[in-house]
């Protein structure tokens, strides 16, 4: 399997996704947007596209962030979806997937930074790719916005702070507003560049202080992510075989 990452910032990298890919011996490539690297020309060489988070949003212009082109990424994601590649988006990545499918992102009711519970919806509890999840799981968060919904998408998990935490756009395309890929190292990097995010914690119900963030273990949610990714790749392999028949 060939995994391709779109990485928007050096401090918001692949996290636990890379450990999962390495454990399976998958080939890994990446586009480091912050270094103005180009997106791949050969989509057929990709089996799974993982679009990571970042401080941008789909409405961010190149005047605001010269190295980020939402239009180019949205077009690239759409092309991957159209040729039945597996596509996984986290945070900004989830919002860009929604945009690629015609669903406008929106501001979340609450800003969330920290480890807070998500709850599976009825669709999520019935979904085989989430059968290993408990009805309520504590996972990582770091966002202001949330992905849009298409007429055929399903919300699989919500939280008290955000009604769209996990979305299935198709059996091969998912958006996670939450961050199951966080590790102790990645949280440390985010905290180091985000001091201003914690200046108003007293006025927000869903922002933990840095000490609270660092006190949480990511191992349980990483394990949840790994099993979900395994199931996603089984679906992708089956779909690839079915297309050849």
Residue spans per domain, the chain: 2-235
Burial of 178 (0-12, 13-18, 19+ CB in 10 A): buried
Mean pLDDT of 79-106: 98
Predicted confidence at residue 225, as pLDDT, reads 98
Band of pLDDT at residue 197, cut at 50, 70 and 90: confident
pLDDT at 201 over 80: no
Beta strands at 48-51 and 106-120: parallel, antiparallel or unpaired: unpaired
Mean pLDDT of 197-205: 69
pLDDT at 36 over 60: yes
Predicted confidence at residue 193, as pLDDT, reads 93
Instruction: Work out the number of other CB atoms within 10 angstroms of the CB of residue 2.
Output: 17
Predicted confidence at residue 158, as pLDDT, reads 98
Three-state SS for 175? strand
Mean pLDDT of the chain: 95
Q: State which fold the 2-235 domain adopts.
A: Rossmann fold (3.40.50)
Band of pLDDT at residue 231, cut at 50, 70 and 90: very high
pLDDT at 82 over 60: yes
Q: For 24-38, 157-171, 176-190, 196-210, which range has the lowest pLDDT when averaged over its residues?
A: 196-210
Spatial strand order in the sheet of 106-120: 27-32, 2-7, 48-51, 86-90, 173-176, 166-170, 154-158, 106-120, 136-146
Band of pLDDT at residue 10, cut at 50, 70 and 90: very high
Mean pLDDT of 112-125: 97
pLDDT at 122 over 60: yes
Q: How far apart are CA 9 and CA 119, in angstroms?
A: 29
């Amino acid at each position: 399997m060939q995994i391709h990452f779109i990485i928007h910032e050096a401090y918001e990298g692949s996290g636990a996704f890379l450990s999962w890919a390495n454990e399976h011996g998958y080939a890994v490539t990446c586009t480091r947007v912050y270094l103005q690297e180009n997106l791949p020309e050969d989509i057929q060489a990709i089996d799974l596209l993982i679009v990571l988070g970042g401080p941008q949003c789909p409405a961010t212009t190149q005047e605001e962030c010269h190295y980020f082109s939402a239009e180019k990424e949205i077009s690239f994601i759409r092309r991957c979806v159209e040729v039945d590649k597996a596509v996984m988006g986290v945070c900004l990545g989830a919002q860009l997937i929604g945009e690629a499918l015609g669903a406008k992102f929106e501001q979340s009711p609450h800003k969330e930074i920290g480890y807070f519970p998500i709850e599976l919806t009825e669709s999520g509890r019935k979904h085989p790719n989430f059968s290993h999840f408990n009805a309520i799981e504590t996972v990582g968060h770091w966002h202001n916005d949330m992905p849009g919904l298409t007429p055929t998408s399903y919300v699989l998990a919500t939280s008290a702070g955000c009604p769209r935490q996990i979305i299935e756009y198709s059996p091969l395309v998912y958006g996670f507003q939450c961050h199951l890929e966080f590790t102790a190292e990645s949280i440390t990097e985010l905290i180091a560049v985000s001091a201003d995010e914690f200046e108003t914690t007293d006025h927000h119900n869903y922002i933990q202080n840095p000490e609270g963030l660092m006190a949480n273990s990511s191992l349980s949610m990483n394990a949840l992510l790994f099993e979900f990714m395994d199931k996603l790749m089984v679906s992708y392999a089956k779909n690839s075989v079915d297309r050849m028949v």
